[in-house]
Amino acid sequence: MTKIKRKNRYKKHLVHLFILPAALLYGVFQLYPLISAALNSFYSFNGFERVDFIGFQNFITLFTEKPYKDFFLNAFSHNWIYFFVTVITQLIISLILALIIHSKIKGKEFFKSMFFLPKLLSVIVIGFLFSLILNPTRGALNTLLEAIGLEAFTRPWLGDMSTALLSVIFVDSWASIGFSMLIFLAGLQAIDKEIFEAARIDGANSFTVLFRITIPMIGPALMIMTVLTFIGSFETFEYVFAMQGSSGGPYYSTDVLTTFFYRLAFGTVDGGQAIGLGSAVAVVLFIIIGMATSIILFVFKRKDFER
């Protein structure tokens, strides 16, 4: 009897082997680096070595001293522009496309696959591809504009400070519309058909149905996509890096917080590396993105935590 009991207890302990590998890998290669990155913002650095604990000094330098203050505000404002423009170019367009594909049309699968295709390409491939397409002298876009008589609109899209950031955002949207369209489609398909029947019997026209029923019913999907877009706009790095380099050219007109972070961490702002300041930028981004993510997790996915 006792022997059996002991054997069972032995087996019970073995069960913890189920959680161990995941917890260990995640703990060592993700959680520890995240915590350490946050702590780094309170230290001064010599190369990669922590020197002194200096409290909030890195944050004070970042927010008040030139040139950091100007770089920070410049990049920060670009992230906000990125977000607001993306809401229009990505969310509104993908919602319209989803509504059309959800309605009575032929070839749904073809259009869905077609719009989704760019999502499968690497961000760096897309960035490089568009740097060729948007090239001022040899690029396809300017050639196309000339061919259809719109020479007046040709310009060095990525080299002109007034169009550079917008061009990068357009390319990002080009790649991401398909995915948000699928999310909206999933939301539309989940709406109970009887609601539309009832509305029609009550004599509602399609305009009323769209704004009074369809859009409110996919409200959660709309909200989630808005928050995801917000997070994406503050995490964005690869498109800017691929098309405009790590300094967000021309003249920092496409600089965002992640490229500013990259330069501080790997060393081209004001000479040497500035890991403490870079970590302070990281912490600012942790706070912004962490707050946005908690909205999704706690408002929309609370069911995972209710036992």
Partner 1 sequence: MKTNPLLQIIKYAVLALFTFVFGYPIFLMIVSSFKENAEIFTNPLSLPTSFNLDNYIEVWEVVNFSNYIVNSLIVSSSAVFIVLFVSSLAGYYLSRYRFKWNPYLLGFFMIGLMLPMKLAVIPLYMTMLKLGLVDTLFALIFIYVAGGIPFAVFLFYGFFRTVPRALEDSARLDGCNDFQVYYRIVLPIMKPAISIVGIVNLINVWNDFFYPLIFIRTDSLSTIPLGMLTLFGEYDTQWNLLFAGLTLSSLPMIIAFLFASRQFMDSLTEGAVK
Site for partner 1 in 57-86 (CB under 8 A): none
Q: How many residues bind partner 1 (CB under 8 A)?
A: 95
Work out whether 56 is an interface residue with partner 1 (CB under 8 A): no
Q: Binding to partner 1 by residue 289, rule CB under 8 A?
A: yes
> Which of the residues 136 through 165 are near partner 1 (CB under 8 A)?
138-140, 143-144, 147
129 scored as a contact of partner 1 (CB under 8 A): yes
Report how far residue 307's alpha carbon sits from residue 298's, in angstroms, rounded to the nearest whole number.
15
Nearest to 158 by CA among 119, 131, 190, 123: 131
> Which of 46, 64, 77, 294 contacts partner 1 by CB under 8 A?
294
Q: Judge whether 235 and 292 are in contact, CB under 8 Å.
A: no
**Angle at which helices 164-189 and 93-102 cross, to 10°:** 30
Residues 6+ apart with CB under 8 A from 153: 145
With CB under 8 A as the contact rule, which of the stretches 55-63, 75-83, 113-121, 157-165 interacts with partner 1? 113-121
Sole window of 61-69, 71-79, 82-90, 175-183 interacting with partner 1 (rule: CB under 8 A): 175-183
b (16+ CB within 10 A) / e for 15-30: eeeeeeeeeeeeeeee
116 lines the binding site for partner 1 (CB under 8 A) = yes
Nearest residue (CB) to partner 1, 1 versus 105: 105
| Per-residue x/- track, 176-195, partner 1 (CB under 8 A) | -xxx--xx-xx---------
> Can residue 200 be called a binding residue for partner 1 (CB under 8 A)?
yes
Q: How far is the CB of 21 from partner 1 (least distance, A)?
A: 4
Rounded to whole angstroms, how far apart are CA atoms 292 and 237? 18
Q: Is residue 118 involved in binding partner 1 (CB under 8 A)? A: yes
Q: Which stretch binds partner 1 (CB under 8 A): 67-75, 84-92, 116-124, 160-168?
A: 116-124
Token code pair at residue 35? 């915590």
CA–CA distance, 172 with 98 (Å, rounded to integer): 19
- Token digits for 97? 């496309």
